Each structure stands twice: as C-alpha cells, then as structure tokens.
Amino acid sequence: MTELLHTDEHDSPKWQQGELIEVEITDLSDTGDGVGRFYSRVVFVPDTVPGDRAVVRLLHVKPKYAHAKLHSLSQPSPHRIRPSCIVADKCGGCQWQHISYEYQLEAKRNQVIQALERIGGFVHPPVDPVLRAPSALSYRNKSTYPVGKSATGQVQAGYYQKGSHQLVNLNQCPVQDARLNPLLAQVKQDIHTSQWQVYNERRHTGQIRHLSLRIGRRTGEMLLTIIVKDWNLPGIEKLSATWLKNFPGLVGVCLNRNSDRTNAIFGNETRCVAGTSYLREEFAGLEFQVRPDTFFQVYTETAEALLQEIQKELNLQGQEVIVDAYCGIGTLTLPLAKQVRNITGLEVQAEAVEQAILNARNNNINNVTFVVGAVEKLLPHPDIQPDIVLLDPPRKGCALDVIESLRRKQPPRIVYVSCKVATLARDLKLLCADGMYTITRIQPADFFPQTAHVEAAAILVLSASGKGI
C-alpha cells in the first residue's frame, strides 16, 4: 500500500507519480478541475469541488504542479451534490455534475473576473452575476456523438471517457433535450441491425463515424445527421423513411461525408436522404432555418436572454448603423436589425451567409446586408463607419488586424460576445489600451450548465480621452 503523504511543513515529501497526498481544494481551473496546493506546488484534480478535503493520487508530475486523480474524500465540500447522470464520473461530456448549480454560477463569474484581472490587467472589472439558465439539465439543442463498437460487437454512441479515447455508451443524456433520447437509442439499435460497419479510426475502415442530433427547442422539429466515410449505406432510404414515420418530430435525415483521416467531425458535403435538410427554430421572435453543420447556440433560451441584455444596454433608437462581425447565420444580426437604420453582417463562411440571407428574406427583414469574407480584411474598408460594432468571434478571439482596425475607426460603442474568457481578456486589454475604450459592463451567461464553459458579453464605450489617439 502506498504511504499517504501529509502536508506537515517539516516533512520532506516525495513528489512523484503514483504517490497519495491529501489536499484541500480551494479553486476551480478554467477547464473545470479542482485546484489545491501541496506545499508550494499546485495540484489539479478533476471531480473535486472547492471545500473538498481529498486524498488524491499524483499522475503527471512537474516540478511546480501536478495532475492527480481523486482517490477518496476526507471531507466533502458543502457545494458537492450527487450527479444526475449515472456515468458522470466517467463521461467526458460534463465536468461539473457533482457541483451544485448555485456554486457553478459563482465559479463561472469568478472565472471571468480572474481572466480579466490576470490576463487583461483590469482592476475590479464590472462583472455582473451570471445569467442563470432556465434549467441546468435537458437543455442542449444539439448533440454529436462518436460511434464505436463494444467488445461484444454492439454499436455504441456516446462521449469519450475523461482523458481517454474510450467511448462511454449512452442511450440518453441528461443535458441534451430529453426529446432526443428515444431517437438516439433507436438509431443506435437500427445501425446495429443494418450491419453497417462502424468506422475504425486507426485503420481508416468502416462507414459510420458520428451521429448528430438537433432539435428546435420552440418548434420541436428534429434533424438527424449520420456522418459517414462514404455514401455507400445500403437501405438508408428505407430506414430513414421508417424513422420519419416513427418519430413525428423528425423532419429530416441527412448524410454528411467525411472521408479524411481527421479529428474534425463534419466533412464538406451533406446530402438529405429523407424529409428536409434543415429544421426550423424560433429565436427572438424570428424563424431560423438550421442545417446539420450550422453554428447555432446550443442553449436557445439563454442565448435569447443574453441578447435581451445587450439590447437593453444599447438602448437602440432606430437610427444606428451596426456592423456584426462574425455574424454566422444572422442569429444576432436579424433581431437587432429590427431596431436600427441598417446593419451589415461579416462572415467568412459562404454557406453561413447563404443561410443568413435566406433567414432575412423569410422574416421580411430588408435593412441588412451580409458580406462573405474574413473580418480582418472586410472591416478596414473605408465605407464601413458604424456607430456600433458587434464582435462574436470563435474561441481563438479576434485577429490582431481586427483590433487595430477598430482602434483606427473608433466606433462609439463595441459589444464583444465571447465564448472563451481568456481571449476576451486579451482582446479587451488591447482595445482599452491608452484609455481609448472603457468597459461599462460585462454580462456572463450560462450557455453550458454542468460544464466549465461560460459566455460573456462586454460593453465598451469610446472614452472622451480616447478620440483622436
């Protein structure tokens, strides 16, 4: 039995892989792991909560920090709860099912504050309480699962086990919209019965790679997409017709081909096998068409709530000119268009712009223009002189050219919607350099309950001292 290392400061403990040590968890990392200290060293421990006193086994050891695995609890935190999911301790889909929802919200606000202070250099940033989700479970309008086979040959689908490439088989998932659960179970069973070959990543053989399920939270329409290595699935048309018949909410079955050796889920080509190639969703009083590979926020209601906070803060009067950078299919562009003189959406993906134009036409919105191209190339154009710029970049944040263009143009107001607070803090530091912009409000929102992810919208105003710099 490995001897337990105590934290008496007079000891000279070993610091090596396999040792058991006892730590008190005092914080959460931005990836969701508990953080404790052993002497002057930092220990990261998944499945722990601030307030836990835990015995942990060291796994990956560096001179000043280590990653460890929970061995046992000496004293559980008051914020610890029983997970809703029976495989929560194995599945990599969620990190925080063992943490009370109230504390999740507190931790996410702290995550935003810490990033702004440590990375951005801001003192006492104006971070509001996190917009809580209407429900901490059964919220995801999209789930995408890798497909595999068990040792006995049964078709499996689920998320990968934490820290591994081993599938945790699921017939239902407590964080996805519950209406998708019966469809997931049936499709898995029918793939097994059809004897289609499951993709083998190592050998690059087989057909079925992933299952993607979407649902319109407001409409109840469902869309099933099977990601395949090639189109050869005998009997798929007949089986798809059966699915449409047996699941009244299912409006379409699609195949997406990804023939590359890659970790990317979707390929570039999608075919509709039965029904329609999209589902309809209602968002902010508008109707959107959402296709298999469309980016659309996974928590419809919380995304709406954040939009409402942005609208409240902007207090639009009907004469404003807005540029929506990284506009996607117009999810934020189109609701704002109803309140301004005109709005221009910039988006690098041509397919997303096609959908945005279609969504504008379907909602009779005529004061919006969508342009295909990289934001860093389009934004500097001299004809673009907006009153407000809305930024909603991917996780990597804004390119430096975008920040420099904004500092040259100096729009009176900027709204920065971020899905990664580290890059948000980095970019806000650059925008606010020399006092050019002032942050008036930062509103975090919980788009991903049971995980460490947090969205945030920052409102920036051009400072009087910043003009002309």
Query: Residues with catalytic annotation?
Result: 419
Contact 324, 346 (CB under 8 A): yes
Residues in the chain: 469
CA distance linking residue 206 with residue 199, whole number of Å:
4
The DSSP symbol for 306 reads H
Environment class of 222 (CB within 10 Å of its CB; exposed 0-12, middle 13-18, buried 19+)? buried
172, 185 contact by CB (below 8 A): yes
For every residue of 171-203, DSSP letters joined together read S--TTB-GGGHHHHHHHHHHHHHHTPPBPBTTT
If one counts every other C-beta atom within 10 angstroms of the C-beta of residue 91, the result is 22
> What distance, in Å, lies between the first and last C-alpha atoms of the chain?
67
Question: Residue 26: which of 45, 7, 4, 9 has the closest Cα?
Answer: 45
User: What is the C-alpha to C-alpha distance for residues 342 and 122, in angstroms, rounded to an integer?
Assistant: 34
CA pair distance 244, 252, nearest whole angstrom: 7
Cα torsion angle, 252, 392, 332, 419, sign: positive
Helix axes 421-431, 400-409, angle to 10 degrees: 40
Tokens representing 15 are: 């610091």
Backbone angles phi, psi at 314, to 5 degrees: -75, -30
Strand-pairing partners, residue 198, are 208
Estimate the share of the chain in helix, then strand, then coil, as percent rounded to the nearest 5: 25, 30, 45
d(CA 43, CA 60): 10
Name the token pair of 264: 């990317």
Run of H or E residues at 382: none
Query: Is the four-CA dihedral 448, 450, 452, 454 of positive or negative sign?
Result: positive
The C-alpha atoms of residue 160 and residue 201 are separated, in whole angstroms, by 14
Q: How far apart are CA 47 and CA 34, in angstroms?
A: 7
Tell me the HSE value of 297 on the side-chain side, using a 13 A CA sphere: 27
Q: Is the dihedral of CA 379, 383, 388, 390 positive or negative?
A: negative
